[in-house]
């Protein structure tokens, strides 16, 4: 089973490594790390990842995983080879998936037109503007497409996909293996519940002010 992780500058590392950790240990899986061209690229925090092949090297993967990240807006405008590859590879893939703002790239490729999908809460308007039916759910399964909300939801997406691929028992065993039993130190805050002070604090962190 060939799983293609679509890489681009400015992606979020956990968007890729979350589902990767869930899926990559299975003996049926061969992972491929694709970009416009092979070589290193920087994530949105500066961490370097390496693409081992070009999109054109794997035209028919079995599974596609598209991370999101701070560079998604640039990617929507400049990553034309990625978007074209998604449009061409999706019809033959068993599953096409995304994490966080990666769903906007699926939408740009025409994959989500009129379909329910989720994304990071800060990009819902963008996703809707690209033709998707925006959901606020953490993971959305629609036919052969699975989309996940922001960053950490990629682990949930990976486990959801694992169940579809190998059954509930295997998916639960993987969940045990990665010890995924979230107990966050703070009470979770839904985006709809966040006050302006929290949003402003987040903006300051992300802008480096």
Describe the crossing of helices 168-177 and 153-166 by its angle, rounded to 10 degrees. 140
Q: How far is CA 15 from the centre of its chain?
A: 5
Looking at residue 193, what is its pLDDT?
Answer: 66
> Could you read off the pLDDT of 72-113 as tens digits, one per residue?
999 999 999 999 999 999 999 999 999 999 999 999 999 999
pLDDT digits (tens, 9 = 90+) for 150-195: 999 999 999 999 999 999 999 999 999 999 999 888 776 666 666 6
Q: What is the mean pLDDT of the chain?
A: 94
| Number of alpha carbons in the 13 Å side-chain half-sphere of residue 83 | 17
Percent of the chain with pLDDT over 90: 87
Give the tokens for residue 178. Answer: 């990665």
Higher-pLDDT residue of 193 and 46 is 46
Domain ranges within the chain, ordered by starting residue: 2-184
Residues recognised as catalytic: 100
Region 121-128 average pLDDT: 96
DSSP bridge pairs for 140: 147
Query: Which of left, alpha, beta for 167 (phi over 0: left; psi -120 to 50: alpha)?
Result: left
CA–CA separation, 130 vs 148, rounded Å?
A: 17
CA atoms of 140 and 119, how far apart (whole Å): 10
Q: Which two tokens stand for residue 201?
A: 């604090």
The mean per-residue pLDDT over the stretch 8-26 comes to: 98
- What is the token pair recorded at 137? 């759910």
pLDDT of 63 > 50? The answer is: yes
pLDDT at residue 209 in the model: 38
CA distance 137 to 147: 9
Q: Which residues pair with 50 in a beta bridge?
A: 40
Q: Which CATH architecture has domain 2-184?
A: 3-Layer(aba) Sandwich (3.40)
Instruction: Give 83: exposed, middle or buried? Use CB within 10 Å, 0-12, 13-18, 19+.
Output: buried
Q: What pLDDT score was predicted for residue 84?
A: 98
CB 159 within 8 A of CB 175: yes
Q: How far apart are CA 120 and CA 99, in angstroms?
A: 8
């Amino acid at each position: 089973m060939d799983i293609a992780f679509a890489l681009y500058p400015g992606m979020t590392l956990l968007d890729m490594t979350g589902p990767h950790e869930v899926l990559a240990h299975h003996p049926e899986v061969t992972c491929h790390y694709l970009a416009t061209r092979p070589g290193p690229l920087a994530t949105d925090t500066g961490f370097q990842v390496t693409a081992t092949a070009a999109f054109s090297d794997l035209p028919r993967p079995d599974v596609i995983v598209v991370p999101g990240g701070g560079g998604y807006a640039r990617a929507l405008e400049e990553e034309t080879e990625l978007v074209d590859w998604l449009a061409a590879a999706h019809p033959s893939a068993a599953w096409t998936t995304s994490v966080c703002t990666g769903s906007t790239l699926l939408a740009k490729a025409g994959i989500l037109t009129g379909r329910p999908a989720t994304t990071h809460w800060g990009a819902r308007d963008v996703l809707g503007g690209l033709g998707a039916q925006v959901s606020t759910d953490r993971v959305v399964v629609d036919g052969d497409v699975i989309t996940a909300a922001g960053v950490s939801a990629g682990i949930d997406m990976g486990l959801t996909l694992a169940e579809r691929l190998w059954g509930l028992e295997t998916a639960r065993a993987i969940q045990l293996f990665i010890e995924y039993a979230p107990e966050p130190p703070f009470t979770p805050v839904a985006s709809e519940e966040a006050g302006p002070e929290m949003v402003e604090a987040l903006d300051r962190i992300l802008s480096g002010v």
